[in-house]
Amino acid sequence: MAHDLFLAAQAAMAKAYAPYSKFPVGAALRTADGKIFSGANIEVASYPEGWCAETTALGHYIMGGGGEITEIAVTAERMARITPCGGCRQRLAEFARPDTKLFLCDESGVVETVTMGAMLPYGFAGDILK
């Protein structure tokens, strides 16, 4: 059920704090046990200090106990089919798997489904650092 995850991302987007870019984004992650963690972008007057919706969602996911991420949805009010930025692809890949589904959305729902592996091919994996 991709649409409920889109709705969670959309609800999160409504809470975005994006007074500078005026580009609200929402993200939602579903875990194998059925929990949904969501987040919005949060900007800061010192622009580089702001962060993305996916990053907020990951913070909620970790603080909520983590677990296996099965699906991710991302949506933006002003862009159909938004894709996560490069930094967020790396952050999501830290906790997701290459076959984890990523739903790219427009204002009314999922328009394309891709995998994390397709979003971040040849990504840096930290296994050797552990």
Residues involved in catalysis = 54
Q: Where in 70-89 is the site for ligand THU (CB under 6 A)? A: 84-85, 88
Minimum CB separation from ligand THU for residue 104, in Å? 11
- Complex with ligand THU: residue 65 or 87, whichever CB lies closer: 87
Minimum CB separation from ligand THU for residue 70, in Å? 20
- Angstrom distance (rounded) from CA 23 to CA 13: 10
Examine residue 119 and tell whether it contacts ligand THU (CB under 6 A): no
- Angstrom distance (rounded) from CA 24 to CA 17: 7
Contact track, ligand THU, 54-73, x by CB under 6 A: x-------------------
> What's the length of the chain?
130
Examine residue 39 and tell whether it contacts ligand THU (CB under 6 A): no
Look up residue 30 and give its two tokens. 């579903």
Spatial CB neighbours of 90, under 8 Å, sequence gap ≥ 6:
120, 123, 124
Examine residue 114 and tell whether it contacts ligand THU (CB under 6 A): no
Minimum CB separation from ligand THU for residue 97, in Å? 19
- Angstrom distance (rounded) from CA 90 to CA 8: 22
Examine residue 21 and tell whether it contacts ligand THU (CB under 6 A): yes
The contact set with ligand THU (CB under 6 A) reads: 18, 21, 23, 25, 41, 43, 50, 52-54, 84-85, 88
